[in-house]
Amino acid sequence: MLDLAARRREFPALTTRVHGHRLAYLDSAATALRPQFVIDAITRVSTHDAGSPSRSVHALAEAATEVVDTTRREVARFLGGAPDEVIFTSGTTASLNLVAQTWARANLARNDVVIVTELEHHSNLVPWQMICAEKGAELRIAPIDDTGHLDLDRISFDRAKLVAITHVSNVTGTIAPIAELARRAHAVGAVLVVDGAQAVAHLPIDVAALGCDFYAFSAHKLYGPTGTGILWGRTSILEAMPPWQGGGGMIATVGDLTSTYREVPTRFEAGTPNVLGIAGLGAAIQFTRTFDPRADEARAHAGLVAAVHAAGGRILGEPELAVVAFELPRVHPHDIATLADGEGVALRSGHHCAAPLHRRFSALASSRVSVGCYTDDDDVAQFAHALVKIREVFP
């Protein structure tokens, strides 16, 4: 039996009062709140395991090294991969740029094709724009239908070298058919890169079953800290990739004029690791094993959809999970966010770093509510009440 009230008590931020109201936090797609379990893990490293990992041999440094190594194993288990396929980065954006600046720079040639979709967050679009311009490659954008789903039969894989796709859209909340995309990409010799930022908190991830070649995500979407991310990649592909950034930790030997580099994954981890963030990520993964997000969040997600429809709003696409992006007639999204905040409801307004997708739906911007493992019926009711109040101001 789900004890949602008990779970909510694990999140200190939910005790915050906003303009005299209880907090209805409906912005988890931007940044999820952190449970005390994660906060305690970060504090423990700050106070007891505070050494520099893989740099010194004293007790605190050895403890910090163990935090990094243990979390790498945790992430591998979470994704269904191997520890040496897990690269620590500063977030999904850095992970995708790493692929663009290493694999793509080394392998793309003039007239090769990179395929993205109309669904993409800017982090999974702009790096490919940049590398295609540099290499003379073609950037091909696969269309979606009015529900926010891809029509795979409308995608031409001719000359494709790389396909980049979001697993779950941060606007439409639709789930991409990753396994089938992987099959079609591999049939023409292309690699598949998946932006998993919105998926990891809501879906079980198995990179082997998905068949992708790279998978990227951020800790702060998964109840962990900001500034921490993961790039998972197939060992055979990572081993053939050059390093991206140079510095301490990623080198084997350094001469006056040349250097040699360490094996993967540390070849891609220049500089002192973000031990606090890594510890928080490991704790966040452990925390997510205590519940089934898709089952637990379905009721709240359906309630948010119903509330928007009741207020006469238009939803962008047909969301399957995680997010509901919408417009209200005659009301600017920023006004919706401001007035909702006055009722204690935290939501997002703007184009959500997905401007081309908004153009696809003939919207300059939208408002977005998103669920977390702590979203309850009271949050949904508070949101619905806020929409009623907004319609009173903007009838």
pLDDT tens digit sequence for 109-165: 999 999 999 999 999 999 999 999 999 999 999 999 999 999 999 999 999 999 999
In 3D space, the residue among 254, 240, 269, 284 whose CA is nearest the CA of residue 372 turns out to be: 284
Q: pLDDT per residue over 284-300, tens digit each?
A: 999 999 999 888 899 99
Domain shared by 226 and 328, yes or no? no
Alpha-carbon dihedral 163, 174, 33, 220, rounded to 10 degrees: 0
pLDDT score at 56? 79
Which residues lie closer than 8 Å to 339 by C-beta, 6 or more apart?
A: 386, 389, 390, 393
Indicate if 198 and 342 belong to the same structural domain: no
Confidence of residue 1 (pLDDT cuts 50, 70, 90): very low
Candidate from 54-58, 229-233, 351-355 with smallest mean pLDDT = 54-58
Contact 347, 328 (CB under 8 A): no
* pLDDT at res. 2: 64
Residues 277 and 296 in one domain: no
Work out the mean pLDDT of the chain and round it to a whole number: 96
What CATH number corresponds to the domain at position 139?
Answer: 3.40.640.10
Q: Are 363 and 316 in contact (CB under 8 A)?
A: yes
325's enclosing H/E stretch is strand 323-327
C-alpha 366/C-alpha 326 separation (Å) is 5
Would 35 be classed as within a structural domain?
A: no
In degrees, rounded to 5, the angle at the alpha carbon of residue 75 between the alpha carbons of residues 74 and 77 is 65
Q: How many domains does the chain have?
A: 2
Residue range 353-370: average pLDDT? 97
Amino acid at 15: T
Enter the tokens of residue 6.
Answer: 């008990």
Q: Which helix (H) or strand (E) holds 206?
A: none
Boundary of a domain, candidates 254, 288, 322:
288
Among 288, 315, 350, residue at a domain's last position: 288
pLDDT per position as a tens digit, 363-378: 999 999 999 999 999 9
The yes-or-no answer on residue 353 being catalytic is yes
- pLDDT (tens digit, 9 = 90+) per residue, 32-87? 999 999 999 999 999 998 888 877 789 998 999 999 999 999 999 999 999 999 99
Q: Could you tell me the residue range of the domain that residue 12 belongs to?
A: 4-30+292-393
Residues 12 and 115 occupy one common structural domain: no
Torsion-angle region of 362 (φ positive above 0: left; ψ -120 to 50: alpha; else: beta): left
- Bridge partners (DSSP) of residue 115 are 140, 163
Residues 332 and 267 in one domain: no
Number of H helices, E strands in the chain: 14, 17
In the set 132, 212, 353, 373, the catalytic residue is 353
Residue 16 domain-assigned? yes
Q: Is 247 exposed, middle or buried (0-12, 13-18, 19+ CB in 10 A)?
A: exposed
Percentage of residues in the chain having pLDDT higher than 90: 94
Q: What is the pLDDT of residue 84?
A: 97
Predicted TM-score (pTM) of this structure: 0.97
* Bridge partner list, 395: none
